[in-house]
Amino acid sequence: MRILLIKPETVGIFSYTFLVEHEALEMEYLYTVFTERGHDAVIYDRRYDLTPLKKKLKKEKPAVVCITGYITQQELMKKYCRIIKKYDPDINIILGGSNVEINYKNYYDCCEADYLYHLSGLENMLKLIDHIDGRREAPELKDIPGICYKNEGKWTYNPKVVESPEDLPVPDRSYFYKNKHRFRYLCFKPLALIKNSYSCPGNCNFCFCTNRNSGRYSCRSVEKLVDEIASLDVPAIHITDDNFLTDRKYLQKFVDLLKERDIHKKYLIYGRADFIAHNEDLIKQLAEVGLALVMVGLEANNDEELDAYNKHVSLSENEECIRILSENDIYCAGLFIVHQKMTKADFKHLYEWISKRDIIPTVSIFTPMQGTAVYKEYEDKLITKDVTKQDLFHCLLRPEHMSVRAFTMEYYKLSLKLAWKNRKSSLYKDNQYFLSVLHILKVPFIKLRRLLIL
């Protein structure tokens, strides 16, 4: 059976930069399990492949199309469905990804989609594909967990199951190696991704990820993680766990295995400030085996705001985290949030606090994203429910001390001042600014072309 795997084009501000580009790992996983099952799968990465959708359908003649995407790509995914069904009503369409997993009901108005897959694992996806293929051993739709399907024109929901990434195969990275020059995180390139866990053991109320896998954190064995690292022919790896720094024994074994197998690579991870603050000796060992950058949610410059975010981290722990990373030559990619109660003075104080510390910051606007714990609290206060604005860069709540326009200006002024201050950081040493400008100029023409030729 021919299966087309669609990775949508980037939506929003990130479409104008190629400084951070990640491989289509979710599609590589699907490609792997489908081809091993005897199907003929094709990855259609619309971030780089400018072939119009109708032309791609005509060329590949798929029986099934799988589409993934984030919340900002929700309406784009629905648009694809309309185009596909208009082209050929007999094509089966499966929608999946993080947003479908959490907000599957958002797609109930998409009458062109045939199935919604609201799990992270692959076992039940294969059961669904077997059913579509008409295989003798395939289960009935009602017996496949984690899917939504149509029954007499109405959506039917099958409950989720808790899964383990231990069952994930080593992905076929043929697509990655053909395009590895594209994938990077600033100066770390080529950069590969490794999926090592589902969900997160934390419970930050603004975070989307903690609710995945029915809110149950599950992680692969260290041995499987290191085996996959050893198999990769790249200098840099991003371990995509929402919090890799969770278990001291696990991390110690990780260090020991890397040393034992003499593996030398650079690692990018997410981690919490409190773990770093209380495990300085372990962070030093991780630095020795290649830990190069930690994306850490520092969020704020005072304890009151940290408590409001349910972080269970103090400002003093944040300070200690910054010191430890700096002294071990690990980039502290600090993540911060600006919120609607802030005054102009608060923006100024936040800039002063960050600029005095060894941090490469990214500042986001507080966004009660659908699927997070705080969404219901703020749902009726949202200025807009346009999901393309849920990208952490738009003001969705009315500011208390200034207009929306003034707040947005303060946010971008803060971000630009911080970027300018850190412009000489070695993290940006390989940036090709002339090519970046050309890319920015090219993007509107690509968008217009896709608008006119689908």
Please report, as a single letter, which amino acid is at residue 259.
K
Which tokens go with 194?
């490794």
- Identify whether 168 is part of a domain: no
Residue pointed to by tokens 């507080």: 366
43, part of any domain: yes
State how far the alpha carbon of 223 is from the alpha carbons of 197, 217, 229, in Å: 14, 18, 10
Q: Consecutive 10-residue runs of the chain (454 residues): their mean pLDDT?
A: 96 74 96 97 96 96 97 96 97 97 96 96 97 94 97 94 92 97 94 94 74 86 97 97 95 98 98 97 98 96 89 94 98 97 97 96 94 89 93 95 97 95 86 63 71 68
Closest by CA to 286, choosing from 257, 313, 261, 314, is 257
- Residue 6 belongs to domain with CATH number: 3.40.50.280
Q: Please give the pLDDT value at position 11.
A: 84
pLDDT, residue 232, reads 97
Spatial CA neighbour of 145 closest among 101, 99, 110: 101
Nearest in space to 102 (alpha carbons), one of 89, 120, 87, 88: 120
Looking at the fold, whether 54 and 201 belong to one and the same domain comes out as no
For residues 103 and 195, membership in a common domain is answered with no
Q: Are 239 and 301 members of one domain?
A: yes
Q: What is the pLDDT of residue 362?
A: 95
10 Å Cβ neighbour count for 181? Answer: 9
Looking at the structure, tell me whether residues 94 and 149 fall in a common domain: yes
Q: What is the pLDDT of residue 216?
A: 86
Query: Is 245 found in the same domain as 135?
Result: no
Q: Which domain holds residue 409?
A: 183-422
Q: Give yes or no: residues 235 and 104 share one domain.
A: no
Residue type, 357: R
Outline where 61-122 has alpha helix (H).
74-87, 98-103
- The pLDDT of residue 432 is 63
Give me the pLDDT at residue 321, please: 98
Number of domains in the chain: 2
8 A C-beta contact, residue 283 and residue 269:
no
Please tell me whether residue 267 adopts helix, strand or coil conformation: strand
Residue 182's Cβ-count burial label (10 Å; 0-12, 13-18, 19+) is middle
- Report the distance separating Cα 77 and Cα 416, nearest Å: 32
Claim to verify: residue 132 and residue 192 sit in the same structural domain:
no
pTM as predicted = 0.93
Which residues, 6 or more positions from 220, have their beta carbon under 8 angstroms from its beta carbon?
164, 165, 166, 168, 196, 197
